[in-house]
Structure 1
């Protein structure tokens, strides 16, 4: 791999890891459009661009989720009772979602990703906070919510934070706990998603050397190197910095990257 690609993947991993820890997100909103652009520059066939970006992103989120989870757990911010209840649905929904995504052509998948990121960005910019109005549902309700979160997360390769954090705050979970718990929920999402994209891409033709299914191993390794270092830094700063302001900056970045992704795929 040429030095410029190595540096690009390392820098992307560091940036994603920081925001994963800071905001309780998996980082797919950044990784997918950036990986799509980098893969296109490396002459990956157009029909595999978004699928390979989604699969590689999901695999990379495993490391960022682990680092972010450990950091939030040290701060006592993870509600493990919620994680236990929502995890079965998350695993099933995410795994099933990879089969859906793998059968959708690149262009529609890119458009869906961009539209969802636009929705997430508007929420962040407006600092939308659902009014706390109820308690958490029972085990079946949590599993059902987890299935929905997992399904959408697989289609856009996110750790679920943009869905699970608003849901938990709506159910009167404190914001700090919602962010920490979201980081923990991101781990089963990433594991099920990575496995699903690996299986669905197995045997696909015309993938670049170093790919295992829809996971590009060289990018995965380099992304994981720095994300594991910067995620705990972001998690520590989440308890000190004005997160609402940082969310607006992050949202603007998501919009620009999504537009760039659409230009790469459709242009």
Structure 2
């Protein structure tokens, strides 16, 4: 449905607005529950919404990714602060990852110009599907390693930033995988991953705003590759439900939270497989 036809159909506009509002609520719960930005939900919802407004797919996709990253900034900040209030957020780990993550985000923006994003999506599918199987089928398995060390912090931090920038996600799912593999409890990993989302989303959003500034074929409300109207519809419910997700996370036991995170990773894997087909 093109823009003119959509504007002439009030019921379609209402359904589109309700879809975005509902997506915001789901993003907020995920941000609090798993320390992730909700990009697995927001990117496809934004993409389909922009297509319905008549945007060209080549413009709709970066607009969806940029808007998703912008969504992650406030929800990740709120989630991180809420987890910190419960004493679960590890500021030392965030400080150790700050420069590597930022470097990875910058590198991802450069690499994306030369290598197809599908390659990195395939890598993420392999990683997340493997971890989903480990969490769902071997919940009591011991971690591969306990602690990362200086070199590990540099390498893993850069990897989080690199993959996040290439796939338009907040990096929480990737950092959560890495931290739990290295012996962290789920509650501590979830809390710290929320902080990682801030490190990824802020420079990522700025990059997409600059990349899309002045580009033709974008809606009038767009700030580069960020849709202001989509943010207005999704942010209120996302902010309302983020604290709810945090309460859920701390109310659940370790085994249940691991199983839920495994199911979430499985869903994300399926979403990227569909995108690759």
Is the shorter-chain TM-score for this pair beyond 0.5, marking a shared fold? yes
Residues 36-47 of structure 1: pairs in structure 2 closer than 5 A: 36-47=47-58
**Structure 2 unaligned regions, length at least 5:** 1-6, 8-12
Q: Is the 8 A contact 2:186 2:257 kept in 1?
A: no
Q: Distance in 1 between matches of 2:181 and 2:79?
A: 23
User: Paired residue for 1:120, among 117, 122, 128?
Assistant: 128
Query: How far is 1:194 from its partner?
Result: 0.4
Q: Is the 8 A contact 2:161 2:171 kept in 1?
A: yes
- 1:95-124 per-residue CA deviation (whole Å, 9 max, x = no partner) reads 3423444x479xx54675476346424522
What is the aligned-residue RMSD (CA, Å)?
Answer: 2.5
Residues 24-43 of structure 1: pairs in structure 2 closer than 5 A: 24-43=35-54
TM-score normalised over the length of structure 2: 0.83
**Structure 1 unaligned regions, length at least 5:** none
Q: Distance in 2 between matches of 1:97 and 1:85?
A: 19
Query: How far is 1:248 from its partner?
Result: 4.4
Q: Which deviates the most, 240-249 or 209-218?
A: 240-249
Q: Is the 8 A contact 1:33 1:260 kept in 2?
A: no
- 1:188-237 per-residue CA deviation (whole Å, 9 max, x = no partner) reads 10101101111111222111221111111111222211111111111111
User: Paired residue for 2:259, among 221, 240, 245?
Assistant: 245
CA shift in 2, pair 1:136/1:111, >3 Å: closer
User: Paired residue for 2:147, among 135, 159, 178?
Assistant: 135
Moved over 6 A (4+): none
Q: Per the alignment, in what secondary structure is the counterpart of residue 149 of structure 2?
A: coil
TM-score normalised over the length of structure 1: 0.86
Q: Distance in 1 between matches of 2:175 and 2:95?
A: 14
